[in-house]
Amino acid sequence: MFGRKGAYRASAPTGPDLPRPQTPTYVVGDLHGRADLLELMLELIDAHIGGTGWQDPRLVFVGDYIDHGPDSAAVLARLQELSEDFPQNVICLMGNHERMLLDTLGDPALRGPRWLREGGHATLQSYGIDPTALIEGATPALWAETATALAEAMGPQTQSWLATCPLSWQSGNLWVVHAGADPARPMTDQTARVLLWGHPEFDSMPRADEVWVAHGHVVGDRPMLRDGRISLDTGACSTGQLSCIAIQRDGSHAFLQT
């Protein structure tokens, strides 16, 4: 369905406290410029759909599509294509790295240096822009020139698509965000900063509302489903391991990994 291969581990429902989306859902972790792993994951998802017969699934990406890895431009192009071809089924959330890119386009001299330190040089290279002079120390004029070149290379449609990526997605008791959530606040009352950058108590304080939060942002050795949290960032850029969780309406689930 989505693909242009890996393994998966399935788990049967074990109790009432499980994520239960209203429709079968796949949630994919941070890509960070790995177009090759994105294609492998799409093949795995297609194989899983074919093997299970799941109908009308949703495919949700948690953000951080760019930076660090070599293929940021290709990843954005592929995700934009998927979301336009399957507008009711594919949801691409915004991550903090996409936010940094957009902020750099808006105020390059002020926002650009931080983005560069966080891996933005790889995204510039993927669009054919040499970041060497920026890394060595750039004037505001050079940053403005670079932002103009990046905007032209991306094109207005990709910029518009990226700027409209939502910060969260919800189905049943499952919420998907990029970085995490404040466990003391309802999911409808979260700030953009928390959703993009995380919250200090997200990993330590359990929620009291039976909501499950799937997220990326923080790298772990393996994907995890525990205590109302589903962690999916397994450092794909450096490890080659891109992770996804497939969740059925009854809470049964499987982890797919490249």
For 13-37, write each residue's pLDDT tens digit.
444 489 999 999 999 999 999 999 9
Query: Which stretches in the chain have pLDDT values below 70?
Result: 1-16
- The answer to whether residues 30 and 147 belong to one domain is no
- The answer to whether residues 64 and 191 belong to one domain is yes
174-177 β-sheet, strand order: 168-171, 174-177, 212-215, 229-231, 224-226
User: Domain boundary at 127, 155, 183, which?
Assistant: 155
The answer to whether residue 66 sits within a structural domain is: yes
Mapped to the 3 state alphabet, what secondary structure does the chain carry?
Answer: CCCCCCEEEEECCCCCCCCCCCCCEEEECCCCCCHHHHHHHHHHHHHHHHHHCCCCCEEEECCCCCCCCCCHHHHHHHHHHHHHHCCCCEEECCCHHHHHHHHHHHCHHHHHHHHHHHHHHHHHHHCCCCCHHHHCCCCHHHHHHHHHHHHHHHCHHHHHHHHCCCCEEEECCEEEECCCCCCCCCHHHCCHHHHHHCCCCCCCCCCCCCCEEEECCCCCCCCEEECCEEECCCCHHHHCCCEEEEECCCCCEEEEEC
Task: Report phi then psi at 33, rounded to 5.
Answer: 75, 20
- The answer to whether residues 172 and 63 belong to one domain is yes
Task: For residue 217, give both structure tokens.
Answer: 């942002």
- The answer to whether residues 202 and 145 belong to one domain is no
Supply the pLDDT for residue 195: 98
User: pLDDT tens-digit profile of 201-231?
Assistant: 999 888 888 899 999 999 999 999 999 999 9
Task: Report phi then psi at 213, rounded to 5.
Answer: -115, 115
- The answer to whether residues 144 and 173 belong to one domain is no
The answer to whether residue 1 sits within a structural domain is: no
**Nearest-CA neighbor of 208 among 182, 231, 189?**
182
- The answer to whether residues 169 and 230 belong to one domain is yes
Strands 7-11 and 253-257: antiparallel
Predicted model pTM = 0.92
Q: Residue 23, class by beta-carbon neighbours within 10 Å (0-12 exposed, 13-18 middle, 19+ buried)?
A: middle
- The answer to whether residues 77 and 197 belong to one domain is yes
Supply the pLDDT for residue 127: 98
Supply the pLDDT for residue 9: 52
- The answer to whether residues 171 and 53 belong to one domain is yes
The answer to whether residue 2 sits within a structural domain is: no
For residues 23 and 179, give the distance between their C-alpha atoms in angstroms, rounded to a whole number. 23
Are 124 and 132 a contacting pair, CB within 8 Å?
A: no
The answer to whether residue 12 sits within a structural domain is: yes
- The answer to whether residues 103 and 171 belong to one domain is no
Supply the pLDDT for residue 6: 47
Amino acid identity of residue 21, one-letter, is P
Supply the pLDDT for residue 95: 98
The answer to whether residue 55 sits within a structural domain is: yes
User: Domain boundary at 155, 180, 204, which?
Assistant: 155
**Which region holds residue 162: left if phi is over 0, alpha if psi is between -120 and 50, else beta?**
alpha
Domain span at 130: 96-155
User: Domain boundary at 106, 122, 155, which?
Assistant: 155
The answer to whether residue 160 sits within a structural domain is: no
Specify the number of domains making up the chain: 2
- The answer to whether residues 63 and 171 belong to one domain is yes
First vs last C-alpha separation in the chain:
18
- The answer to whether residues 86 and 171 belong to one domain is yes
Supply the pLDDT for residue 3: 58
Are 109 and 143 a contacting pair, CB within 8 Å?
A: yes
Which CATH number belongs to the domain containing residue 55 in this structure?
Answer: 3.60.21.10
- The answer to whether residues 146 and 182 belong to one domain is no
Supply the pLDDT for residue 14: 45
The answer to whether residue 194 sits within a structural domain is: yes
